[in-house]
Amino acid sequence: MNKISAEEIQKIATMSALSLSDDSAATLGSELNDILGYVQQLEAVDTDGVEPTYQLTGLSNVTRPDELVDYKVSNEALLQNAPSLKDNQIVVPKVL
């Protein structure tokens, strides 16, 4: 069975945009290894020729008429939760 190393945990944390202290990486690492050890049981199931199921309703490409619908939601209401606003725009830290 694969064991996730501390280094790998930090790599997944970076992919997840999370910072972990060495201590919590160690704890989470051992918990993750327990969980992955448990789910490893699926290896023993013979799934040859079986297709995966990603969704249950069988719906695809649900569309509606291409018409403007007024959801009665104001710009103010949509922006009110942004931590930082300027001239009705969301302020983000420098990207470049």
Binding-site ranges for other proteins (CB under 8 A)? 4, 9, 12-13, 15-20, 24, 28, 31-32, 34-36, 38-43, 45, 47, 50-57, 59, 62, 64, 71-74, 77-78, 80-84, 90, 92-95
Q: Are 90 and 79 in contact (CB under 8 A)?
A: yes
Q: Which of 30, 36, 29 is nearest to 8 (CA)?
A: 29
Rounded CA-CA distance 2/37 in Å is 8
Nearer to other proteins, 45 or 68 (CB): 45
CB of 17 to other proteins, least distance (A): 4
Q: Which of 7, 10, 6, 27 is nearest to 18 (CA)?
A: 10
CB of 4 to other proteins, least distance (A): 7
